[in-house]
A and B are shown apart, each in its own frame.
Chain A
Amino acid sequence: MSLIDVCQRLVELARKSGAAEAEAYAERTRESSVRVRDGEVEELQQAASKGVGLRVIKGRRLGFAYGTDFSKGGLQSLAERAVALAKGAAQDDANGLPSRALLGSGAPGEYDPAIEEISPEWKLAAARAAERGARAEDARIRKFDSTGAGDFLAHAAIASSRGARGESRASYAYVYCSPVAEQDGQLQTASWSDTRRRLAVLEDPEQVGRTAARRAARMLGARKVKTQKVPVVLDAQMAAGFVAGLAGAVNGLLVHKKSSFLGSLLGKRVAPEGFTLLDDATLAQGIATRPFDGEGVASQSTAVIERGVLRNFLYDAATARKAKARSTGSASRGWASLPSIGTSNLYVKAGSQRPEEIIGQVKQGLYVTAMLGRGADVVTGDYSRGANGIWIEDGELAYPVQEVTVSGNLLEMLRGIDAIGNDLDFRSATSAPTLRFSELQVSGA
């Protein structure tokens, strides 16, 4: 049975079992990867997976069941289980599938057939090239945590009693390298990777290895700095992490529950003029680009913060109903979970300054290149994370720093952004250019 037929069949079975509304979401994935060590294969993995989740609404109550058994009996028992589970949930008028008007089944997604054809030899060669590149970049790279390459193909389908019916395909190729630099008994690791929807634009594996090696080796000799308040520059990768931490603050459900520090600031200025934050599920070749969201709502681009002003929160269908808003097509899910609000391609628009200029204007400060811990609390607005990086002195990168934390208040941090880099690169679903914060607390010695 095709994936869409599995969904359609489940919806029918659920209706027969007494569900007022039903929606099935199924996925098949194929993945294959190679990991190397010292030029030899360390691990080969290959697998195909499948699964389906069924959401039912009966008497305004919600039930959900999932499984991997696509046989006739398997689907029948899944449908019965979902309907039975709805009995225990509370009645809620907000429960329900998205209305027909919101549904979309546009283009079937970003799919590159070339990724289907990637051979094990190609992956092995790519992983070897990354490892070789890392060694060639710096003689102090002699060990690796891991180096590898792989591909991932996904096919998803959705069908619902409200008329949703769609399929999407996604393809990904990736290469990664985590070398360890060693000197005077100190070990420093860094990792660098590239993941793309199209094989042709995947970064040269050797360059991935070289970048990873540079990032690890420049940390050798790292030490603590004094506790002080200074300007802090987050490199593009760490800036993306900061933005990912903000995502919860624009989650419509947390806003509705008055549990987001941004909740009461819609229409207000929360960041400088040059700061625009978009969630765009339609971005060309974006890692999270999709034709529709986890409940079949057509993908869109949402301006979350536009030129410093908070413009929109993100909603799925049920929360939108509750908050009297409109779904932004932000239902994220896998087959084993109910849809919940999440981001797609979330990114900060590029500014005009080169990272070197942004660093060059700092007299004393910290350039952060790695972080530890989650650290961003969108309920309280507190922010505190472990940081590694390079100390800036008179606009120059002076020496490596570790074992410090960077702390602040998320709203003050947003308002205090005083430089935005031109180095935006869509390396992952959440991305940002280099960002500079005018002053943050650095805790160290």
Chain B
Amino acid sequence: MPRTTAREKKPQPLLPLPLVERLLAAAMSRGAEFAEVYVEKSTSTAVSLDEGKIKSAQSGSVTGVGVRAIRGAQVGYAHSDDLDEAALLRTAQTAALIADGTRQPGPIHMSRTPLPTYYQVRTPLADVEVARKIELVQQADAAARAYDKRIRQVMGGYADQTREILVANTIGHLAEDRQDLCRLGVQCVAFGKHNERRTGFHGGGGRVDFRFFEDFSPAQVGREAARQAVATLGAVPAPAGPQTVVLAPGWSGILLHEAVGHGLEADFIRKGTSLFAGKLGEKVASELVTVIDDGTVAGGRGSINVDDEGNAGERKVLIERGVLRGYLYDHLNAKLTGQRSTGSGRRQSFRHAPLPRMTNTYLAPGDQTPEEIIGKVQRGLYCRQFGGGQVDISNGNFVFEISEAYLIEEGEIGKPVKGAMLIGVGPEALKNVIAVGSDASHDPGLGTCGKDGQSVPVGVGLPTVRIDNLTVGGTGA
């Protein structure tokens, strides 16, 4: 369980606090109602392996400041990677241009908010020796190749980031956080007969200490990627058209992320461009469906002690037994609609203004075993592994890729079928959820979500779920 801890040793803030205050004052100087300074120092390391060799090891470090000024619904945003005081003051004055008056802002009282910690990362990942990161990728590669001689191409990668942030604003927030994040991933290509190629992908990570990989073994990652590629050799085309699908637990949570999650982000709600706008309290899904967005999952890839606007990460129930209960709010959209922030203001980096975003989005477990769920399907598709997805939040159309799937006949899992796209309309698909498993599971820590050109790490989760009448974009009969 996460717990509230006082930091043992307070290091120097990323930017001297008196300077932060001067920047806030400069951003307010033309009559803005709110100003914010976001300082970020991010150190990244990446190792890539291809054709059995460590192709490269790389690292980078980027520091910068983003300043935002808000007046009413209007936002001025400017950023700088030049950290000298004159450059930063110019940046703050640029953001201030959103307002066009003059104002002598009063003194700003900032107080540090004590934050809980949802990630127990002892050693910053940036400080772990590169040689150990290289070793992980090599172990995964060796295990994948040893799995089956038809595995002829393996690409492996490890990447991490240690991101330190400081957020201060004129309503008095002052928050600092260190957010470490890592990910190991392996892709395999299996070569079959007649030029057939199948791919498999596996990996994982999160906001975790490097010791995570003692349990989450790289060899297991390599073998799983290899298994997927080999298992789908000889797959027949997936049947096209609407059918019953059973989704295996874990990364299948991408369904929620696309089918409902984006449509509940408060910017779309305020603009009225989401089909979920104005539907609070209405039934939007089967009563088996309870959807939670939770920034407090221990070590979760999408977890945040604090969001990028200085608000603490939260657990939010979005849909409760099929009824729409809440939206995901950042500061601006909350303020404009008389709501409170749900700690959902996130940004890719100091070069971006925050947007309402998901953290870890998952479906609460039901009470059936996966075997019961599959056993009751006369004819359908069992989807075991998934790729990416996308949604159009206005008409609710969403897609997500299945990369490993099997036919279900008379309650038994049968032949593998080739990957295909699933397509549906959010609320309709969720009304067709007719069974939810007791095997709740989070994805292993792989997801990255894109919105308005900004990428942020997210988690998803789903137990085994049966959905009827979902369209499968296969090529078979």
Residues of B in contact with A (beta carbons under 8 Å apart): 47, 50-51, 53-64, 73-82, 91, 94, 97-98, 130-131, 134, 152-153, 189, 191, 195-199, 240-242, 268, 271-275, 351, 353, 387-395, 397-401, 418-421, 423-425, 471-475
Contact = CB atoms under 8 A, between A and B. Distances in A.
A62 B199 CA distance: 27
A373 B394 contact: no
Contacts of A92: 53, 55
A64 interface: yes
A187 B58 contact: no
Given A92-B55, A188-B394, A404-B471, A227 B240 contact: yes
Contact of B75 (A44, A338, A379): A44
Nearest to A374: B388
Contacts of B153: 257-259
A45 B94 CA distance: 9
Given A68-B63, A144-B273, 5 more contacts: A51-B81, A372-B423, A384-B475, A406-B473, A441-B473
B58 A382 contact: no
B58 A338 contact: yes
Contacts of A222: 395
B27 to A, nearest CB: 13
Contact of A90 (B54, B61, B74, B94): B54
A208 B60 CA distance: 39
B248 to A, nearest CB: 19
Interface stretch (A81-89, A158-166, A231-239, A276-284): A81-89
A189 B475 contact: no
Contacts, number: 243
A155 interface: no
A403 B423 contact: yes
A65 to B, nearest CB: 5
Interface in A90-140: 90, 92, 120
B62 to A, nearest CB: 5
A98 B351 CA distance: 33
A443 B273 contact: no
A85 B59 contact: yes
14 contacts: A44-B98, A46-B77, A47-B78, A64-B58, A88-B130, A187-B274, A188-B394, A189-B394, A372-B398, A373-B390, A384-B401, A385-B399, A443-B471, A445-B242
Nearest to A38: B73
A388 interface: yes
Nearest to B64: A68
Given A65-B60, A68-B81, A374 B401 contact: yes
Interface string A394-429: 000000001111111100000000000000000000
Interface in A187-235: 187-189, 219, 222, 224, 227
B425 A403 contact: yes
A189 B254 CA distance: 22
A88 B134 contact: yes
B189 A402 contact: no
A323 interface: no
B189 A259 contact: yes
Nearest to B49: A90
A49 interface: yes
Contact of A443 (B55, B241, B398): B241
Residue among B131, B240, B474 facing the most chain A CB atoms (10 A cut-off) = B240
A144 to B, nearest CB: 7
B81 A49 contact: yes
Contacts of B81: 49-51, 68
Residue among A180, A219, A373 facing the most chain B CB atoms (10 A cut-off) = A373
Contacts of A372: 390-392, 397-399, 423
Given A49-B351, A85-B130, A259-B153, A405 B54 contact: no
A180 B420 contact: no
A51 B400 CA distance: 36
A154 interface: no
A63 interface: yes
Nearest to B471: A443
A58 B274 CA distance: 54
A327 B197 CA distance: 27
A88 B471 contact: no
Contacts of B394: 145, 180, 187-189
